[in-house]
Amino acid sequence: MNNKTVWITGAASGVGRHLVGAFAKRDYFVFACDINAEALALAAQEDRWPQNNVIPHVMDICDEPQWREAQKILATHRPSLDIMLNIAGYLRPGFPTDLTNTDIDKHLNINVKGLILGCQTAANWMQQNNAGHIINFCSLASLLPTPGLSAYSTSKFAVRGYSTSLAAQLAEHNIAVTLLCPDAIATPMLDLQTQHESAALTFSSGNELTTADIEKTLFSGVLTKRPFEVLICKNTSMKIMAKLFLVSPALFVKVNNTPAIKNFMLKRAEKNQQRYLRKIQHQKNQ
């Protein structure tokens, strides 16, 4: 068995579920956590997670005592933690003026507070051995915010800021922090965005990533080179726009208020949204 231990949140679906299998097949010891007990058990059964090196654990990442309890459980099996993958997240589309208190709370609690608690737990444990790697799943939306995903973009901007501060603090302890910023990924979370008009711009690039793309990125360089930030996007122009707007937010506002550009982007995004909807409906019918 690989002598490394990886802790994964959001393990019951999407990217988290896929990566549990990806690490397990490479003989890592995997601590697979999710709040949804039924979905976690189903994932373990359907994907045939090997019981000798995968431990499913039900927990709420927004609850600090549950992090302490989870660490105690993992520590009974493994003496140290090598990799923390903070993947669990929440996304509900909505224009800025339409957000409810519940929308705001869920985005900030799950995407920000839960991630911070995970980083604290991992960092405190990793510092005992002066080694480790914390990988925070952010989003291209942290660089390229969209009007229909304002709460989500806000939470990911917070993840970016926190991760930057954390990386600077932990460098002296040989603990790396990596910020993964993927474009839209074909997962159940993205499937839900086909039902919301406000989420159309999620499909701007027109070339969704797959969970296999995330796996390839991790194992082809992130785990060995341990970079601070990695943008994962198949559309080069989207990468350029993201970097440009990070440098000049005023430019982003100006572009989004240029009628010709705004209409072009929206029409293309809506077309891609409908294409993706037809794709998942076709898959369901097969």
Tell me the mean pLDDT in the region 28-50: 97
CATH number at residue 43: 3.40.50.720
d(CA 153, CA 222) in angstroms, rounded, equals 23
Q: Count up the domains in the chain and report the number.
A: 1
Angle at 36 between CA 91 and CA 45, to 5 degrees: 120
pTM of the model: 0.85
Lowest mean pLDDT among 37-46, 79-88, 249-258: 249-258
Quote the pLDDT of residue 99.
Answer: 87
Burial 110-144 (b: 16+ CB within 10 A, else e): bbbbbbbbbbebbbebbeeeeebbbbbbbbbbbbb
Instruction: Quick: pLDDT tens for 118-149.
Output: 999 999 999 999 999 999 999 988 887 777 78
Residue 172 has pLDDT above 70, yes or no: yes
Q: How many CA atoms lie within 13 A of 211 on its CB side?
A: 16
Residue 53, domain extent = 5-285
Place of tokens 């939306």: 141
Instruction: Quick: pLDDT tens for 193-243.
Output: 556 555 455 556 667 899 999 999 999 999 999 999 999 988 777 777 777
Instruction: Quick: pLDDT tens for 91-103.
Output: 988 788 888 999 9
Q: If you average pLDDT over every residue of the chain, what do you get?
A: 87
Instruction: Quick: pLDDT tens for 238-255.
Output: 777 777 777 777 776 776
Mapped onto helix, strand or coil, the DSSP state of residue 176 is strand
d(CA 135, CA 80) in angstroms, rounded, equals 16
d(CA 33, CA 255) in angstroms, rounded, equals 41
Residue 188 has pLDDT above 90, yes or no: no
H or E element that contains 85: strand 83-86
